[in-house]
Structure formats: structure tokens, C-alpha cells
Amino acid sequence: DEAEAQGRTILDKDPNDPHAQLLIAELLAHRGQYDTAREVFERVVARPDVKPEVRIVLARLQLLRSRYD
């Protein structure tokens, strides 16, 4: 997938890039890899400069995951 490749390329250069981390997390979630996606989202949410919208996305992910457990 092109989006994932771009995200991984950015992360290779800067492993802490929040935009690339979010991109990868969203792709993982869409693929049903909720646990891995949650881990990535939680790393982003732990950043002091995280925007509130990211917390909302994490909450939605947790709701999606609970539907399939």
C-alpha cells in the first residue's frame, strides 16, 4: 500500500514523526489490527503536543475493537 510505504519511509527518517505514526495507526486499524494500532496511537497520545482530536480517534478505535471482541 502506497500510504503505508510513505509513512514507513518518514518513520525511517524520523521515528517520532506524529503524522506518520498516525497514518500507520489508522492503516492498521482499517486492516483490523486493533491492538497494534492502539499501541501506536497511545505513543502519539502520550506526546505533550498531541491535539485533542487524536484522543478522539483513539477512543473510536477502542469502540471499534470492543465490537469485534
What average pLDDT score do residues 7-31 get?
Answer: 88
pLDDT category at 18 given cuts 50, 70, 90 is confident
Query: 45 Cβ partners below 8 Å, 6+ apart?
Result: 54, 55, 58
Is the pLDDT at 64 greater than 80? The verdict is: no
pTM to 2 decimals?
A: 0.73
Supply the mean pLDDT for the chain.
83
**Confidence at residue 14, expressed as pLDDT on a 0 to 100 scale:** 93
pLDDT at 13: 94
pLDDT of residue 58: 76
